[in-house]
Amino acid sequence: MQKARAKDYTIFIIMLILSIIFLSPIFIVLMNSFKGKFFISDTPFDLPTSTTSAGLKNYTGGIAKTDFLSAFGMSVFITVASVAVIVLLTAMTAWYITRVKSKFTSLLYYMFVFSMIVPFQMVMFTMTKTANTLNIDNPIGIILIYLGFGAGLSVFLFSGFVKSIPLEVEEAVMIDGCGPIQAFFKVVFPILKPIAITVAILNVMWVWNDYLLPKLVIGTEWQTIPLAIQYLKGGYGSIDMGAMMAMLVLAIVPIVVFYLLCQKYIIEGVVAGAVKG
Amino acid sequence: MQKSIKKYFALFALPTILAFLIAFIIPFILGIYLSFTEFTTVNDAKWIGLKNYVRAFSNQEFLDALWFTVKFTIVSVITINVFAFLLGLLLTRGKKGTNLFRTIFFMPNLIGGIVLGYIWQLIINGVLIKFDLTLTSSATYGFWGLVVLMNWQLIGYMMIIYIAGIQNVPKDLMEAAQIDGANRFRILRSVTLPMVMPSITICLFLSLSNSFKLFDQNLALTAGAPAKETSMLALDIYNTFYGRTGWEGVGQAKAVVFFVLVALIALVQLVITRRKEVEN
């Protein structure tokens, strides 16, 4: 017993030290976000002192310079809207192509799976041009593009789950006089809830952090958080390190809060997504 | 039932299909076509056969980027998986604070690539400045900077998958091996490793494709400096498209080559996984 307890403590202490090392980059950024911009490059590992401290100036200056609040709003809008649309529509599509068996639906399924391995650079230029031509290069249109480009993984995950639902459940509901719409929303979609959470989480992590797609499609007029941060960098040498540090902190806070709130689902979602993907 | 569902095609399947056409199918086909043409705006495309591919492969920057990407991928796939597996082992052994540590190690994965790049730029430059150097003094710093960054980002993710795998190893199998007199190393090699093979395959694939397709982190950390020596494939393709007029066709040809490489990696991985499944 005692030996087991000693082993437990040793592992605990090793892990504690590793965790501190692991978290230190975030702490260093936080520390520097309160320093004057001229002190950051020279002494990044020192705590702010009375001479190096800048108070909240980096935050107020950075928010003004990058128009951070509207970037934050844009990020929230695009992420929430895209993920809601993706979860609802790909669940419906996955159910349709799993339940209606034909050459067309199985071709569709393979196309969705295929799209998962295609790197973004392959369609980068042509997708941007298509979005321009169709006038969907705006914050509403980008939701459609996220749906299209994200459909592969989501349809794949939902289809795997639908296959495991016994057909009898839906047949019973439909014999009772429900149409497919009622059957889907009242019976199938609630059963899909666990996988819907996984799909939502994987997509939130992707859309919230995505840089290139919003940059190319809407970036000239509207900015999300990753774009606002990249924009701060500006020309060579002109970078305001203080504002940069503050904006990095502000970019990290929302996603960490989101993580701490739905940690359990995120970790389960990652495991489920990995096993199926 | 099939028939009654089929009537609702327009509601259930059409919206996703339309979006998929616009965002993926059309751009993909157009992309392959354009890689054989010379163009600046898509509408002025002129067929030139394989010329773009020839230009891509005789472009030293592209070859350098390819080699840099391969080197980076090999190193980071190995380090990420070794560290993640060891952490997974430790966290399935100890009991105290397991959840807390899992939460902490996973955290960097949620932070976006651009932000990750700037965090590590600050830290690495902060160390190098003591020697009067910066991250862009030599490509070596950029290389190892990217490796460290990628490890920080992905170790937690892979660790979670390894933990799930290790927890699925049946307890009696371990006990049986112990009774048979196997030592800890032997159990790891002959029981744990073969049993977590599915997790290993998944983690290898995920870390491989993530490393190979890296873009945001590369852009934020070094943006290819010095002199494009730390440009990876994705960044090189981006710069060919948007940094060099007249080279759009070459950019598209590079993108097709990139796609073929990624597809090959995925295919090889699939074949290996299938073979493993048959053995089991």
Residues of B in contact with A115 (CB under 8 A): 20, 24, 28
B10: contact with A, CB 8 A cutoff: no
C-beta of residue A125 within 8 angstroms of C-beta of residue B243: no
User: Which residue is it, tokens 């030139």?
Assistant: B48
B249: contact with A, CB 8 A cutoff: no
pTM of the model: 0.93
Quote the tokens at residue A5. Answer: 């307890």
pLDDT band per the 50, 70, 90 thresholds, residue A1: low
Chain B residue nearest residue A135, CA to CA: B22
Quote the tokens at residue A211. Answer: 């840089």
The answer to whether B22 contacts A255, with C-beta atoms less than 8 Å apart, is: no
CB-count exposure of residue A103 (10 Å: 0-12, 13-18, 19+): exposed
Q: pLDDT tens digits, residue range B91-140? A: 998 778 888 999 999 999 999 999 999 999 999 999 999 899 999 899 99
Residue B3 C-beta-side C-alpha neighbours within 13 Å? 0
Q: pLDDT tens digits, residue range B167-192? A: 988 888 888 988 888 888 888 888 88
Give B65→chain A minimum CA distance, Å: 14
B95: contact with A, CB 8 A cutoff: yes
Q: pLDDT tens digits, residue range B232-279? A: 999 999 999 998 888 999 999 999 999 999 999 988 887 887 777 655
Helix/strand/coil (H, E, C) string of chain A?
A: CHHHHHHHHHHHHHHHHHHHHHHHHHHHHHHHCCECHHHHCCCCCCCCCCCCECCCHHHHHHHHHHCHHHHHHHHHHHHHHHHHHHHHHHHHHHHHHHHCCCHHHHHHHHHHHHHHHCCHHHHHHHHHHHHHHCCCCCCCHHHHHHHHHHHHHHHHHHHHHHHCCCHHHHHHHHHCCCCHHHHHHHHHHHHCHHHHHHHHHHHHHHHHHCCHHHHHHCCCCCCCHHHHHHHHCCCCCCCCHHHHHHHHHHHHHHHHHHHHHCHHHHHHHHHHHHHHC
The answer to whether B266 contacts A258, with C-beta atoms less than 8 Å apart, is: no
d(CA B164, CA A229): 35
pLDDT band per the 50, 70, 90 thresholds, residue A235: low
B43: contact with A, CB 8 A cutoff: no
The answer to whether B4 contacts A179, with C-beta atoms less than 8 Å apart, is: yes
Residues in Cβ contact with A173 at an 8 Å cutoff, skipping those fewer than 6 apart: A182, A183, A186, A187
Instruction: Give the H/E segment covering residue B37.
Output: strand B37-38
